[in-house]
A and B are shown apart, each in its own frame.
Chain A
């Protein structure tokens, strides 16, 4: 068996957004260690080190994990022995350890709530492997979450030297914006400030403190323009509130794609009066809050709650001034909360009552973090479900590098929905006696096996249980050349046993 035949370009997945690439070399620390804002307690008693080891699954050989990588950061100590950090820090973690500032205590930890969209996670001591949590937390002081700040307020970013000494960088909030820090396409309220930071031993994601209270987490630092992105306290508060009952749900969404209404010709056609702004609804997600509320493609959203929406989608926030409309949905609201939208349809105003919900799972799931890829190895054919992780393995420019038919599914998932929960692919072919002549087949969509429509990997596994009377499996491929391929049931079973002997730990995962 030649592993070279499984030649999907490899690259690390998912954690691309784990920013804070390097806070190195800025030795001209004019803003470092200067004058921390007055605080009632030493920040050192409210921050701890987090060391995590994570491993991603191999996109081409889904039974394997890739090499592990380690990262470290500082977490903020909250009440009830909870630690707040970013989702990026603990995604796909195989081991997480908490360590106090002077490195005298450490305990294993587990994730109790995580939001990949807002890039936040709560850690707690892992009771299963540690019984000295009380000991660990006894000298630590819990921080409260600060109130929303304003542009011009000062934040202290906490780092720790190897010695355990704090390194505090003060910076002033310059802008407030809606930014995506981890999962592509998910934007949340973020403070931006400017400071020159230096590299310290723990510099992955860091607490930002204002007057002894936790304001946010530093999610990214751009070394070249020295811009710091800090999650806003509203987002953290909403996250913590959602997690209180132990059942984390996540932030709601409306489920619309929008276009601005700046273009005068477009406005004229839409009959939008000059005094109104508005967002043109170009697409509505199936099963979304917008669809349920009866919003239609072509509607123009002019008001969300009490706020007028401008031509470029900005409203005037009571605290921050101009903010992008999505904050009114994703930052301000809980799941299942009601929200009135004012829309313009054929030039007439309507008020639409919406109930905000979580977006429904798509054929190609937005993320598959923590989940081992589902797969089946049959006679040398490797079947997997299409995921973003799989597509991203084609490289950073996967949208042009990955097979066109797969990229196209992303944009037109509705066309594939019938009879499917997921898209099942033949991702690669290991040359075996069963796959002779089929070695070049890969990245084809499977439509049916032995006459049964394939909805996902479990249904595929099931369909392979019943070969025809001649002992053959019949596999139908969408737009394949050829359209149908065959496997000898006996030969492929023998091959499967051989593959197990050669080190594939399991023939399937579902």
Chain B
């Protein structure tokens, strides 16, 4: 498992859920340009062009407030960082989502200018780590060059990375070659995988959101590094950038859509024999179908996908695009909700064609890091309840096997059908009514007064009914001993713990 680190310069952050993910790169030495061949010394004309481009590459300063998932009633910690962005159209600055996530205030600075221009987020796409910003007053930027988006650069071709990384305040330029083009995890959401391009230019904290240029065009947005290796930087390539820019054309960002299945390579000779595949015949096995995903009901387990939108799928599930073998998912990646995918497949020895209409799949959200999200919670007699999310998982480090298993299998086993939320007892604020139930912390709530719990809202309503029951009996998964709070003591205990522990609001339920 690689450990990616995003390349935003981070101010020392107070302990918070999200800060835990961000690991600043150790500042490595700048790429030495002295070794560059003579021919690469820019001519005066090229130098003037470069200076022109530099003006369009801006420094972004973000003052952030990160929600507190440990003690959700508290105001989040204040922090900040810097990154890079660049002008791609009239009052449109492209950068990484992680540079501006949770931002309360954004300031943009032009290369060589002391003036800071307030800006705001126009669109933000956490699943592909891109954002578009606009400044309040664009007049200072009129006439600056708008950088154009190019194509995916070829392997071994040279690129320039420009930005405002650590090591100084002025613009920095490094060079490298394209080392690899592959699918990899985008660490901003920790779940989404998209095409990304690896380059060997030195990319450092602060480079995030900056352009990677080739022949004067943008061929990528620098966004993450690899903690375990030197000189490996990753950039978001044009197909992902263009998809983002197309998606927002209707005024909202609708997110990526996924086909919702796992494939398994058809390498094994016995398996090929079982499915009657000739030695060099194409096709990959459908090994798992995510319930309620777009392909649920269209594909079946043990189908063999031989082509996707006319592209032949090989035994490893790869297709040839622009001369590169990449995952067949790349076809889906470039599509939008409502688009259709044509699949050729073999089912039970019969060749057939199927059409799969793409649609959003909101349930996977539990596994992605959420930003700009106020944590939901409710409290009762000193007990704090929160719905399970990636952010909460990071904040609490759950040991309970049952919680870990429910979380891991939430999508696979379609638990979302019955449980919109997995409600967790995350914290017990000591009070006379709850002194002896400390070891229940970190459990999933199964039922309250006999009713199965399927959402935080429902749990909240059962814990705050109009008519107080004799006892509140709360059962946790995997623990047969219930938590019992006498009804006549609950209200006073709630009031007492709220006052004593400074809980400014006893609940927040809005999604």
Which A residues contact B (CB, under 8 angstroms)?
A: 257, 259-260, 262-263, 265-266, 268-269, 280, 282-283, 297-298, 399-400, 404-405, 407-408, 411, 433-438, 470, 472-474, 479, 481-488, 491
Contact = CB atoms under 8 A, between A and B. Distances in A.
Nearest to A435: B268
A401 to B, nearest CB: 12
Contact of B481 (A282, A470, A487): A282
B474 to A, nearest CB: 11
A472 B480 contact: no
A437 B479 CA distance: 41
Interface residues of B, number: 38
A408 B264 contact: no
A269 B486 CA distance: 8
B122 interface: no
Interface string B434-475: 011100000000000000000000000000000000010100
A482 B287 contact: yes
Contacts of B433: 265
A265 B486 contact: yes
Given A265-B433, A297-B480, A483-B301, A436 B267 contact: yes
B401 A407 contact: yes
Interface string B342-385: 00000000000000000000000000000000000000000000
Nearest to B288: A481
A436 B268 contact: yes
Interface string B266-281: 1111110110000000
A260 B264 contact: no
Contacts of B473: 269
A491 B401 contact: no
Interface stretch (B42-50, B68-76, B207-215, B402-410): B402-410
Contact of A485 (B262, B268, B480, B486): B268
Nearest to B316: A437
B270 A266 contact: no
B381 to A, nearest CB: 9
Given A269-B473, A472-B274, A437 B408 contact: no
Contacts of B412: 479
Nearest to A484: B302
Interface in B406-430: 408, 412
A437 B401 contact: no
Nearest to A410: B401
B436 A283 contact: no
Nearest to A468: B274
A151 B245 CA distance: 80
A488 B485 contact: no
Contact of B480 (A263, A266, A282, A488): A282
A491 B480 contact: no
A488 B273 contact: yes
Between B471, B480, B486, the greatest number of chain A beta carbons within 10 A of the residue's beta carbon is seen for B480
B410 to A, nearest CB: 13
A335 B20 CA distance: 54
B265 interface: yes
A485 B401 contact: no
B485 A265 contact: yes
Contact of A491 (B270, B287, B402): B270
Contacts of A400: 399
Contact of B405 (A268, A408, A488): A408
Given A472-B273, A491-B270, A266 B288 contact: no
A436 B315 CA distance: 13
B116 interface: no
A433 B268 CA distance: 9
Q: Considering the complex of A and B, which 7 residue pairs feature the smallest CB-CB distances, nearest first? A: A437-B267, A263-B436, A282-B480, A437-B268, A482-B287, A488-B270, A486-B270
Given A266-B436, A434-B270, A482-B264, 18 more contacts: A263-B437, A263-B484, A265-B433, A265-B489, A283-B480, A404-B401, A404-B404, A404-B405, A437-B267, A438-B268, A470-B274, A472-B274, A473-B270, A482-B287, A486-B270, A486-B271, A487-B270, A491-B269
Contacts of A486: 268, 270-271, 273-274
Given A404-B404, A404-B408, A470 B273 contact: yes
A411 B478 contact: yes
Contacts of A298: 480
A266 B475 CA distance: 12
B486 A268 contact: yes
Contacts of A260: 436
A493 to B, nearest CB: 12
B285 interface: yes
